[in-house]
């Protein structure tokens, strides 16, 4: 299946934007898909990553230009070290690691997108929701429905963060074709 995304913007009439700085927890396959879409959106920068696998971190550096000092084998270390530079986080770990990552991101005060499934149990989900509410941050799950407009599921969480942080993505609309 090939997916194409086109971002449409009237950049001639827009003020300069502060980049939306995104970090990834889990830098493997699905993260690479998220990154490929985000890199097509004006005003979005991929600035940090955490993954247990050094090969995934090396790929973040060579393929996406993430500085080596912004790549970590621990998401806690990433959030503690460069958290002040991060506007939003995309959690793309294995399913069983979503809850601890989301809770840590919430405690760090960052809005986030979490891959599906959001949690492995109702109890995990309740803990995640409690952490998000206590921190006053936003959490959205990446649930692609083939009948839904894909652009909304990609753009909306990051637009919400942009409005909160003063950053902006110039994306006004997009077209997606799945083959």
Give the CATH number, domain containing residue 97: 3.40.50.720
Read off the pTM. 0.74
Q: How would you label 38-66 residue by residue, b for 16+ Cβ within 10 Å and e otherwise?
A: beebebbbbbbbbbbeeebbebbeeebeb
Q: Give the per-residue pLDDT at 42.
A: 87
What DSSP string describes 77-131?
Answer: HHHHHHGGG-SEEEE-S-GGGHHHHHHHHHHTT-EEEEESSS-SSHHHHHHHHHH
Q: Give the per-residue pLDDT at 176.
A: 41
Please give the tally of structural domains in the chain. Answer: 1
Rounded Cα gap, residues 175 and 151, in angstroms: 7
**Sequence-separated (6 or more) residues with CB below 8 Å from residue 128:** 98, 99, 102, 103, 106, 118, 119, 139
Look at the block and give the residue holding tokens 């909304």.
152
Q: Give the per-residue pLDDT at 8.
A: 46
Q: Give me the domain span that covers residue 84.
A: 3-178
pLDDT tens, residue order, the chain (179 aa) = 444 444 444 555 555 567 899 999 999 999 999 999 999 888 899 999 999 999 999 999 999 999 999 999 999 999 999 999 999 999 999 999 999 999 999 999 999 999 988 888 989 999 999 999 999 999 988 765 444 455 555 556 556 656 666 655 544 444 444 33
């Amino acid at each position: 299946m090939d997916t194409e995304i086109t971002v449409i913007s009237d950049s001639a009439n827009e003020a300069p934007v502060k980049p939306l700085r995104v970090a990834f927890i889990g830098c493997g396959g699905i993260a690479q898909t998220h990154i490929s879409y985000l890199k097509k959106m004006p005003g979005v920068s991929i600035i940090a990553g955490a993954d247990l696998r050094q090969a995934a971190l090396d790929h973040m550096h060579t393929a996406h230009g993430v500085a080596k000092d912004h790549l970590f084998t621990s998401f806690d270390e990433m959030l503690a070290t460069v958290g002040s530079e991060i506007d939003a986080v995309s959690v793309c770990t294995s399913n069983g690691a979503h809850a601890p990552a989301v809770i840590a991101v919430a405690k760090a005060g960052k809005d986030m997108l979490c891959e599906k499934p959001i949690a492995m149990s109702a109890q995990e989900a309740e803990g995640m929701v409690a952490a998000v509410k206590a921190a006053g941050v936003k959490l959205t799950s990446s649930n692609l429905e083939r009948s839904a407009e894909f652009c909304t599921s990609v753009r909306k969480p990051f637009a919400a963060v942009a409005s909160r942080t003063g950053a902006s993505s110039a994306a006004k609309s997009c077209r997606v074709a799945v083959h």
